[in-house]
């Protein structure tokens, strides 16, 4: 059975201070999910090296948190200004799939890439990664597959003022949502703490 629909996924921009959450997210993925995400097996040391090596001054990382503030979906947008494109990598926790997270992350990443003036967004994956291939096709990417691997690319529209404005709106929505989720979790904790114990 498919997972129950979730409220509209709000994408947060992640920073270096959230690398622990990122590492926890990747570490919770199955070995097969990691292989599909990175194109090769990834152990703990390799994951730590990857997360610690993200260049937050150049790249952008986006994520979606669940109601318990667990990071369940991540997009890493590696920006190459010299070559005028950005490469995107996506991962979604098993229990959070079929809720539109991949599409929301892809849309957010593409909006950001366009606001930087880039003209192409690109994804590389194993051809057997059906979920990512399906997402790419749905988003209008051109896919070229060969020797078990696939390249998906899409031309971005010219930068427009509304793209920059949308970036600001997205960040404001994400900030409000983050505050709301933290308050909601705090209230649930207080309510659970205050609940009287059952007396036999």
Task: Write down the pLDDT at residue 69.
Answer: 86
Q: Give a yes or no: residue 39 inside a domain.
A: yes
Q: Give a yes or no: residue 189 inside a domain.
A: no
Q: Give a yes or no: residue 169 inside a domain.
A: yes
Q: How many CB atoms lie within 10 A of CB 52?
A: 11
**DSSP type of residue 83:** T
Phi then psi for residue 94, to 5 deg, are -55, -45
Q: Give a yes or no: residue 73 inside a domain.
A: yes
Block residue for tokens 């690109």: 122
**62, 13 contact by CB (below 8 A):** yes
CATH number at residue 114: 3.40.630.30
Contacts of 40 (CB under 8 A, 6+ apart): none
Contacts of 154 (CB under 8 A, 6+ apart): 110, 120, 121, 122, 136, 139, 140, 141, 142
Q: Give a yes or no: residue 63 inside a domain.
A: yes
pLDDT (tens, 9 = 90+) of the chain, 200 residues, equals 334 334 468 899 999 999 999 999 999 999 999 999 999 999 999 999 999 999 999 999 999 998 888 999 999 999 998 889 999 999 999 999 999 999 999 999 998 898 888 999 999 999 999 999 999 999 999 999 998 999 999 999 876 656 566 666 666 665 555 555 555 555 556 766 655 555 45
Q: Give a yes or no: residue 198 inside a domain.
A: no
Contacts of 146 (CB under 8 A, 6+ apart): none
Number of domains in the chain: 1
Q: Give a yes or no: residue 75 inside a domain.
A: yes
pTM: 0.79
Q: Give a yes or no: residue 196 inside a domain.
A: no
∠ CA 127-130-132 to the nearest 5 degrees?
Answer: 90
CA atoms within 13 A on the CB side of 56: 11
Domain span including residue 127: 12-183
Residue 173 in tokens: 């929505």
């Amino acid at each position: 059975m498919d997972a129950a629909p979730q409220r509209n996924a709000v994408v947060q921009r992640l920073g270096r201070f959230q690398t622990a959450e990122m590492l926890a997210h990747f570490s919770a993925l199955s070995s097969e999910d990691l292989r599909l995400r990175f194109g090769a097996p990834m152990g703990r040391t390799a994951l730590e090296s990857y997360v610690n090596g993200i260049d937050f001054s150049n790249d952008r990382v986006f994520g979606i948190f669940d109601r318990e503030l667990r990071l369940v979906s991540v997009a890493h947008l590696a920006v190459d200004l010299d070559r005028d494109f950005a490469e995107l990598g996506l991962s979604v926790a098993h229990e959070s799939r079929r809720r539109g997270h991949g599409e929301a992350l892809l849309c957010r990443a593409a909006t950001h890439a366009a606001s930087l003036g880039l003209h192409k967004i690109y994804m590389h994956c194993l051809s057997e990664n059906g979920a990512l291939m399906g997402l790419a096709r749905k988003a209008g990417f051109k896919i070229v597959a060969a020797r078990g691997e696939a390249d998906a690319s899409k031309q971005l529209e010219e930068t427009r003022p509304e793209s920059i404005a949308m970036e600001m709106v997205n960040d404001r929505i994400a900030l409000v949502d983050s505050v709301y989720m933290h308050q909601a979790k705090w209230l649930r904790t207080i309510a659970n703490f205050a609940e009287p114990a059952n007396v036999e």
